[in-house]
Structure 1
Amino acid sequence: MDLALWISAWLLAVVAFVGGVSKTFAPKEKLASLHGGGWTEGVGAPGIKVLGVLELLAAVGLVLPALLDRVPVLVPVTAAYWVLLMIGAMLTHGRRREFGFVALNLAYLALAAFIAWGRFGPESFSG
């Protein structure tokens, strides 16, 4: 199970990194023009950048604390944060009737919940 948790954390970290880079560095207009980018209509450019930075921090928090063996409890804490972020994303896309994105966010949520459960529980880094 440890291997499955590591793979899950790396996959989710890649998702968070790619999303974070795009939200942090791409102009709002470019994001809005992409498939599924309509959510940016109700969010100012600074808000989008904040989301991007949070996603970049999540990418780091999902793997680096465990790799460096420095405060590894941050891995499941970050995964739990990602669950909350995905709930928000699902609500946003659901309001826009973008159910394909709701399903994708649900998959990310499930992956994050698995990481949080596994790293807080049976495969915690403290044991």
Structure 2
Amino acid sequence: MNIALWIGQALLALMFLNAGVMKTIQYEKSKAKMPWMKEYSKGLVHFIGIAELLAAVGFILPAALGVLPWLTGAAGVGIAIIMVLAIGVHGRKGEYGAVVMNIVLLAISVFIAIGRF
């Protein structure tokens, strides 16, 4: 079980590290690739990106260092909330490929939250 949790944590950390960097540091470049970003303020997109970056760190460091390990479960809950909201955004736009990916990421994040709490 621990190995499966670590695999899920590593996968989500990599995914959300990339997504967070795209939404914060590479905002203009990402805006061209992600049509939904045009409908939301730059501040909101940056907030989401920062939350994703913090979650990426939260998936690895607390569990690896044994310092406040409950933060890994909290990262799972936070990403689960973001994925539920993302499903709504992409579903309304008819972006069903993105919805499927959000559901998969939601399932992994819930698995990590339950496993680490």
Give the alignment's TM-score, normalised by structure 2: 0.95
Distance in 1 (alpha carbons) for counterparts of 2:43 and 2:81: 20
Residues 14-93 of structure 1: matches in 2 within 5 Å? Answer: 14-28=14-28, 30-34=29-33, 37-93=34-90
Q: CA deviation at 1:27?
A: 2.9
Which residue number in structure 1 is paired with residue 97 of structure 2?
A: 100
Which residue number in structure 2 is paired with residue 111 of structure 1?
A: 108
Deviation above 6 Å: which 4+ runs of structure 1?
none
Distance in 2 (alpha carbons) for counterparts of 1:12 and 1:77: 13
Aligned-residue CA RMSD (Å):
0.9
Distance in 2 (alpha carbons) for counterparts of 1:80 and 1:100: 23
Q: CA deviation at 1:47?
A: 1.5
The AA in structure 2 aligned to 1:70 is V
The AA in structure 2 aligned to 1:24 is T
The AA in structure 2 aligned to 1:99 is Y
Name stretches of at least 5 consecutive residues in structure 1 with no aligned partner: 121-127
Name stretches of at least 5 consecutive residues in structure 2 with no aligned partner: none
Structure label with greater radius of gyration: 1
The AA in structure 2 aligned to 1:69 is G
The alignment of Structure 1 onto Structure 2 pairs a total of residues equal to: 117
1:48 counterpart SS class: helix
Q: CA deviation at 1:31?
A: 1.8
Which residue number in structure 2 is paired with residue 124 of structure 1?
A: none
Q: CA deviation at 1:32?
A: 2.6
